[in-house]
Structure 1
Amino acid sequence: MRKIMTNKTSKYILLLICSMSLLSCEKFLDKQPNDMLNLDQVFSIRLETERYLANVYSYIPDPLVCNGVNYTPLSDEADWVFNWPHQQINTGNWSPVNTPYDIWSKYYKGIRAASTFINRVSECKECDELNPGITVQYREEARVLRAFYYFLLIRQYGPVTILPDVPLAIDAPLSEMQLPRNSYDECVDFIVSELDKAQQVLPDKQSNTREYGRTSAGMARALKARVLLYAASPLWNGNTDYADFKNKDGKQLVNQVYDQNKWRKAAEAAKSVIDKMPEGLYKKNGTDGKFDPFLSYQYVFLDRWNTEVIWARPMTGDAVRWERCSAPRQINGYIGLGPSQQLVDEYEMENGMSPFTAASTTANPVINPASGYTETGFSTTATKFTKAGIHNMYVGREPRFYATVGFNGMDWVYKGADGKTIIRVELFSTGKDGYNGSNDHSTTGYTTVKYVHPESDVRNGRHVLKSWIFFRLAEFYLNYAEALNEYDPQNPDIYKYINLIRERGGIPSLPEGLNQDQIRERIRHERRIELALEEHRFWDVKRWKIAEQTDAAPIYGMNVTTGTSFSDQNFYKRKITESRTFQKKHFLWPVPQYEIERNTELVQNPEW
Structure 2
Amino acid sequence: MAVSSCDKPLSQFLDKAPGVDVTENTVFSSRAQLETFITGTYRIGIHSIFSYNDANLIPTSRTFCINAPITDEAECEVTFMHPEQWNAGNITASTALVANEDYRYYIRWTAIRNCNIILERLNDVPDADEAYKSQVTGEMKFIRALNYAEMLKRYGGVPIIDRRFQLTDDFKVKRNTVEDVVNFIVKDCNDAVEKLPASYPSNLRGRATKTAAQMLKARTLLYAASPLFNAATPYMSLGNEADNKLICYGNQDNNRWQLAADAAKAAIDMAPAGNFSLITDKGVDKNYKFAWEQNDNAEIVLAEKVYAARSRTQFPWYGFQPSSIINAWGGVSVIHNFVRKYEKKDGTPQTWPGGNDLLKKYAELDPRFAQTVGYTTSSYNRDVPLLETFQGGRHAADCDGGAWLKKLMPDALGATSSAVPNAIVFRVAEAYLNYAEALNEAQGPVQAAHDAVNIIRGRSGMPKLPTNLTKEQFRERVRNERDIELAFEDHRLWDIRRWKIAENEGVMQGPMYGLRITRITGNTDFAYQPYVFENRTFLPRMYLHPFLNTEVYKGYLVQNPGY
State the TM-score bracket (shorter-chain normalisation): 0.7 to 0.9
1:120-519 to structure 2, matched below 5 A, reads 120-126=121-127, 128=128, 133-163=131-161, 165-172=162-169, 176-206=170-200, 208-241=201-234, 244-245=237-238, 252-253=245-246, 254-278=248-272, 280-285=277-282, 292-314=283-305, 316=307, 321-323=315-317, 332=326, 334=328, 336-356=331-351, 375-378=354-357, 391-414=359-382, 423-435=385-397, 441-457=398-414, 459-460=415-416, 462-519=417-474
Confirm or deny: 8 A CA contact 2:91 2:542 kept in the other structure: no
Q: CA deviation at 1:50?
A: 2.0
Change (3 A) 1:29 1:234: closer
Question: For 1:594 and 1:48, how far apart are their aligned partners in 2?
Answer: 36
Residue identity opposite 2:120 in structure 1: N
Q: Distance in 2 between matches of 1:125 and 1:467?
A: 36
Distance 1:30 1:107 in 2: 16
- Which whole-Å CA distance do the structure 1 matches of 2:226 and 2:87 have between them? 24
- What do residues 491-511 of structure 1 show as CA deviations (whole Å, max 9, x unaligned)? 210111111111112111111
Aligned match of 1:370: none
Q: How far apart in 2 are the matches of 1:248 and 1:237? A: 15
Change (3 A) 1:566 1:404: farther
* Structure-1 separation of matches of 2:509 and 2:252: 27
8 A Cα contact 2:134 2:196, kept in partner: no
**What secondary structure, in the 3-state scheme, does the structure 1 residue paired with 2:457 have?**
helix
Alignment of structure 1 residues 92-131 onto 2, 5 Å: 92-99=89-96, 100=99, 101-102=101-102, 103-126=104-127, 128=128
Residue 57 (structure 2) aligns with = none
What SS does the corresponding residue of 1:411 show, helix, strand or coil?
A: coil
* 8 Å contact from structure 1 (residues 409, 566) kept in 2: no
> Amino acid of the residue matched to residue 377 of structure 1?
N
8 A Cα contact 1:412 1:425, kept in partner: yes
CA distance in 1, matches of 2:280, 2:263: 24
- Counterpart of 1:84? 81
Q: Calculate the TM-score normalised by the size of structure 1.
A: 0.81
TM-superposed CA distance for 1:132, in Å, is 5.6
* Aligned residues between the structures: 533
In the aligned structure 1, how far is the partner of 2:321 from the partner of 2:158?
Answer: 39
Task: Identify the residue that residue 536 of structure 2 maps to in structure 1.
Answer: 580
96-105 or 587-596, larger mean C-alpha shift = 96-105
SS in 2 for 1:215: coil
Q: State the secondary structure of the residue aligned to 2:49.
A: coil
Residue 39 (structure 2) pairs with residue 54 (structure 1): yes
Q: For 2:369 and 2:408, how far apart are their aligned partners in 1?
A: 13
Letter in 1 for 2:396: G
* TM superposition shift of 1:474: 1.1
Q: Matched residues in 1 for 2:135 and 2:277: separation?
A: 28
Q: How far apart in 1 are the matches of 2:374 and 2:243?
A: 52
**Partner SS state of residue 573, structure 1:** strand
Determine the C-alpha separation between the residues in 2 that align with 1:68 and 1:215.
27
Give the TM-score taking structure 2 as reference length: 0.87
- Stretch deviating more after TM superposition (318-327 or 403-412): 318-327
Would the aligned equivalents of 1:151 and 1:227 in 2 still touch at CA under 8 Å? Answer: yes
- Whether the 8 Å CA contact 2:450–2:465 is kept in 1: the answer is yes
The structural deviation recorded for 1:255 is 2.0
Change (3 A) 1:96 1:352: same
Larger radius of gyration: 1
Cα deviation 1:9-65 (Å, max 9, x = unaligned): xxxxx1xx2xxx36x866999951348533223222444322221221122223233
Deviation at residue 574 of structure 1 after TM alignment = 1.7
Contact 1:44 1:123 in 2 (8 A): yes
How far is the alpha carbon of 1:331 from its aligned partner? Answer: 5.3
Asked if structure 1 preserves the Cα contact closer than 8 Å seen for 2:211 and 2:271, the reply is no
Which residues of 2 match residues 597-608 of structure 1 at below 5 A? 597-598=553-554, 600-608=555-563
Between the aligned partners of 1:521 and 1:343, the Cα distance in structure 2 is 15
Change (3 A) 1:62 1:566: farther
2: CA distance, partners of 1:28 / 1:95: 30
Identity over the aligned pairs, expressed in percent?
Answer: 30
Q: Structure 2: which 5+ runs fail to align?
A: 53-62
Closer, same or farther: CA 280–525 of 1 in aligned 2, 3 Å: same
The Cα RMSD (Å) is: 2.8
Distance 1:64 1:178, change over 3 A: closer
In the alignment, residue 108 of structure 2 is paired with which amino acid? Y
Determine the C-alpha separation between the residues in 2 that align with 1:104 and 1:326: 23
Equivalent-residue separation in structure 1 for 2:437 and 2:311 (angstroms) = 32
Q: 1:161 to 1:242 in 2, by over 3 A?
A: farther
Residue pair 2:288, 2:371 contacting (<8 A) in 1 also: yes
Q: Quote the Cα distance in structure 1 between the aligned partners of 2:264 and 2:469.
A: 23
**Contact 2:311–2:419 at 8 Å: present in 1 too?**
no
Residue deviations 1:180-236 (CA, integer Å, cap 9, x gap): 111101100000001111111111222x11100011111100000000000000111
Q: What are the ranges of 5 or more consecutive residues in structure 1 without an aligned counterpart?
A: 1-13, 286-291, 357-364, 368-374, 379-389, 417-421, 436-440
Q: Does the 8 Å CA contact 1:199/1:217 hold for their aligned counterparts?
A: yes
Report the Cα offset of residue 106 of structure 1. 2.1
CA contact (8 A) 2:70 2:83 kept: yes
2:500 corresponds to 1:554: no
Q: CA deviation at 1:349?
A: 1.0
CA distance in 1, matches of 2:205, 2:195: 17
Aligned-pair CA distance for 1:557: 1.1
Letter in 2 for 1:122: N
* Deviations 1:327-377 (CA, angstroms, capped at 9, x unpaired): 566753657111110111111111211114xxxxxxxx5x6xxxxxxx422
Question: Cα gap change, 1:239/1:322 in structure 2, threshold over 3 Å: closer, same or farther?
Answer: farther
Residue 529 in 1 paired to residue 491 in 2? no
Tell me the distance in 1 between the aligned counterparts of 2:527 and 2:11: 50
Structure 1 CA distance for aligned equivalents of residues 168 and 11 of structure 2: 30
Q: What is the CA-CA distance between 1:567 and the residue it aligns to?
A: 6.5
CA contact (8 A) 2:228 2:235 kept: no
Change (3 A) 1:327 1:88: closer
Q: One-letter code of the match for 2:215? A: A
Aligned to 1:6: none
Between 318-327 and 304-313, report the one with greater CA deviation: 318-327
Aligned residue for 2:14, secondary structure, equals coil
Between 1:563-572 and 1:227-236, the stretch displaced more is 563-572
Is the 2:221–2:259 contact (alpha carbons within 8 Å) kept by the matching residues of 1? yes
SS of residue paired to 2:560:
coil
